[in-house]
């Protein structure tokens, strides 16, 4: 009997421990979504280079600790007003800084290599050390050309000067190599952290813009 009681107590404690992050962050409907502010400390996670030989395999991203994004995914996935049904998660989180299309179609043809972009990002851990703020929870929806309803939910960023400054240096490198300045705009960019999506993720190429325009709910880092 005593053993059973202590087992129950242990289980209850374990349950509290597991549930604590969400309770502590007190997510309630009609209140801003709360995310652990440690999500902003990206200098604590490694920079991950993405390179390959095929199209869509070369891109630059600021790695984000998924551990802090997962509770937001779980909340969005379980809340119809946010997720509109269940979503697919990639099981990782990042802020795309140079998308694969920009690399394949614009930078690479001008002779800019992924090694150069990675070196620029990794120097003094520059990209991972970038500071940024959270604008809102965003959602974009579109019926794509094939007639399928697509939806993607993301955390939209604000105050991302450090990320822009990286893109500005990429612009300088591109122009130095003879690239046409009309084809790359450092600030034509809507940084976000993808939370999840239906079917597949959607992009500018699908006609959607993941900026302030896409906000559906406030989010705060605490």
Ligand X SMILES: *[C@@H]1O[C@H](CO)[C@@H](O)[C@H](O)[C@H]1NC(C)=O
Instruction: Candidates 36, 42, 89, 152: give the one binding ligand X (CB under 6 A).
Output: 89
- Assess contact for 61 and 95: CB atoms under 8 A: yes
DSSP bridge partners of 136: 156
DSSP state of 222: -
86 is an interface residue for ligand X by CB under 6 A: yes
> CB of residue 208 vs ligand X: minimum separation in angstroms?
14
The stretch among 4-12, 39-47, 50-58, 84-92 that binds ligand X (CB under 6 A) is: 84-92
> x/- string (CB under 6 A) for ligand X, residues 115-154?
----------------------------------x-----
DSSP 116-180: HHHHHHHGGGTTTT---EEEEEEEEEEE-TTS-EEEEEEEEEE--HHHHHHHHHHHHHHHHTT--
CA 211, 91, 96: angle at the middle one, nearest 5? 35
Which residue lies nearer to ligand X by CB, 100 or 138?
138
Which residue lies nearer to ligand X by CB, 180 or 199?
199
Rounded-to-integer distance, Cα 55 and Cα 93, Å: 21
Instruction: Candidates 77, 101, 113, 144: give the one binding ligand X (CB under 6 A).
Output: 77
The stretch among 6-14, 78-86, 157-165, 211-219 that binds ligand X (CB under 6 A) is: 78-86
| Selection from 85, 95, 94 nearest residue 197 by Cα | 85
Instruction: Candidates 84, 101, 113, 144: give the one binding ligand X (CB under 6 A).
Output: 84
Site for ligand X, rule CB under 6 A: 77, 84-86, 89, 149
């Amino acid at each position: 009997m005593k053993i059973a009681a202590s087992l129950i107590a242990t289980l209850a404690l374990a349950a509290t421990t597991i549930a604590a992050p969400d309770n502590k962050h007190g997510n309630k409907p009609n209140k801003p979504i709360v995310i652990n502010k440690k999500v902003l400390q990206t200098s604590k996670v490694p920079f991950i280079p993405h390179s390959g030989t095929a199209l869509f395999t070369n891109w630059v991203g600021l790695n984000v600790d998924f551990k802090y994004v997962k509770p937001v995914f779980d909340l969005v996935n379980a809340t119809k007003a946010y997720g509109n049904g269940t979503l697919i998660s990639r099981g990782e989180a990042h802020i795309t800084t140079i998308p694969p299309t920009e690399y394949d179609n614009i930078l690479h043809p001008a002779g800019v290599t992924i090694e150069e972009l990675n070196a620029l990002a990794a120097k003094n851990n520059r990209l991972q050390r970038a500071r940024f703020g959270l604008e809102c929870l965003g959602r974009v929806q579109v019926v794509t050309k094939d007639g399928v309803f697509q939806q993607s939910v993301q955390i939209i960023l604000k105050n991302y000067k450090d990320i822009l400054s990286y893109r500005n240096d990429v612009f300088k490198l591109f122009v130095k190599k003879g690239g046409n300045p009309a084809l790359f705009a450092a600030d034509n960019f809507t940084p976000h952290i993808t939370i999840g999506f239906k079917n597949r993720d959607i992009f500018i190429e699908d006609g959607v813009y993941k900026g302030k325009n896409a906000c559906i709910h406030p989010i705060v880092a605490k």
